[in-house]
Every structure is written in C-alpha cells, then in structure tokens.
Structure 1
Amino acid sequence: MSNFLDQFIEDIKTNVPGFIAVSVTEVATGVSYVSHSNKADFDPDIASAFNLEVVKAKLKAISALGLSSSIQDIMITLTDQIHIIDVSEKVDYFIYLAVDSSSANLGMTRALLKKYKKDIVQKL
C-alpha cells in the first residue's frame, strides 16, 4: 500500500506550488496512512487529528440539517496559508493539504489534488 502513497506524496511535493504539508487520514480511526511536511515545526499528523474533528462536525451539521449533500472539500484560509481537507466520496479518508498562500494558485492546487487523488481512490 505504501508505494502508491509514497508516489502521491512525491507528486504533491514536486508539483504543487507553495507546498507545506500533506497527509492522508482515515476518518473512522484518525490513523494517518502517510504524511509529509517541508517545515520541521509543522506536524501534519497533529493537524490531521484536529481537522478530523472539523470533518466530523460538518458531517453532523449536514445530518442535523437533513441535507442529502456530501462533503467534497473544506477550505480554511489563514493569513499566510490555505488548508484544504479533501474528503473521499465514501467518507472513509481525507487528504489534508497545506500550502503557502503567497505562492500557491488555488485553482491549480485543487486541480492537482484532484488529479493525484484518483490513484488513492482506486487503491484505498
């Protein structure tokens, strides 16, 4: 399993401008399948643990509102970073990606994430 996840990390690191950190995390357990950060003081596993709570809260809100919609992604814009939580269709895992907002292009970042996510969807 780790071969395609390692390739996913390499693709993201190499091709996403402003890359800071990425992880793939299981929703049911909070276990991170893989993670990487370009910054020593930025732990994507800790970030993913907190972002799991964001995903769970949004799922509860959707349920409480009786919506038939599902989460595609959640974006959090900080003053100097953009954080994207891309939830799988079956809500069994999510990809967490952090990029530097001064060098990232949001449209390109989301398109690349969607492109690289296809391999994970087929293998997880």
Structure 2
Amino acid sequence: MGDSNFLDQFKDDISSNVPGFIAVSVTEVETGVSYVSLSNKDDFDPEIASAYNLEVVKAKKSAIKALGLDSNIQDIMITLTDQIHIIDLSEKGDYFIYLAVDSTKANLGMTRALLKKYKKDIVNKL
C-alpha cells in the first residue's frame, strides 16, 4: 500500500470536521484487515466494530446475489438510539469506511457529504 500518510490525514480530517465524530476505520473486505482506525472513546474499538460490520457487508452482498440484482452496495446506514453508523463501500467493493457519529450532534446530510469528500482523498491510493 506504500505511504500511509494519506490515511493519517484522512482520519484527522474526519475526526476534526465531522460533527459528533465517535470513530472511523478503513477495512479491506477480502481480508478484514483494518488499514487505519481512530476512536475518541476508550470503550469504542472501531476495529472490532469493523469486523462485525464486515459480516453485515458480506450478508448484504449475498442477499443481492440471491435476489439476482445487478447492483453494488454504495453504503449501509444503521441508526441506533444515540448513534449513526455508516458503512461506505468503495466503488469496486474492495474496502469500506466505517464511521460512527453521535446522532444528537451530527447532521446526516453533512456527515454523508463530508465522508464522500474525504473518501475521494483516499479512493485512488488504496
């Protein structure tokens, strides 16, 4: 993967600019390897969350195949009582960005727009 400074920049940009930021990670779908992760809560491990979210991605891919759909996952959003979790897949589906935010502080439209913006910064480097 080469120089990982762009991943450090990515997590800094996300954590600094996304209101309600809790955690972020970038994970390879095939291997489950996390390229980078960051959390602002000691009891919230984004790598553990990504491992479980990988299973969500795989299940959804299986469902799409079983339904015979000619479609790819763009993102998966899970709304909890006090958090929003977004699983944003790369165009090729080879990795995903997992982002958790505090739903009382986050604006969903802004969060998704910022995630898309910062995703562009890393999409060609992974």
Scaled by the length of structure 2, the TM-score of the pair is 0.97
- Aligned with residue 79 of structure 1, among 78, 81, 91: 81
CA distance in 1, matches of 2:35, 2:81: 29
C-alpha displacement of 1:108: 0.1
Aligned to 1:48, which of 47, 50, 59? 50
Structure 1 runs (4+) deviating above 3 angstroms are none
Alpha-carbon distance in 2 for matches of 1:5, 1:69: 28
Q: 1:2: Cα distance to partner?
A: 1.3
Cα RMSD of the aligned pairs, angstroms, is 0.4
Residue of structure 2 aligned with 1:109, choices 108, 111, 114 = 111
1:15-34 alignment, distance < 5 Å: 15-34=17-36
TM-score, normalisation: structure 1: 0.99
Amino acid at match of 1:88: S
Paired AA for residue 28 in structure 1: E
Identity of aligned residues (%): 84
Gaps of 5+ in 1: none
Structure 1 residue 69: deviation in Å? 1.1
Q: Distance in 2 between matches of 1:38 and 1:70?
A: 31
Q: Matched residues in 2 for 1:4 and 1:32: separation? A: 15
Give deviations 1:72-104, integer Å, cap 9, x for gaps. 000000000000000111110000000000000
Q: Secondary structure at the match of 1:86?
A: strand
Number of residues paired by the alignment? 124
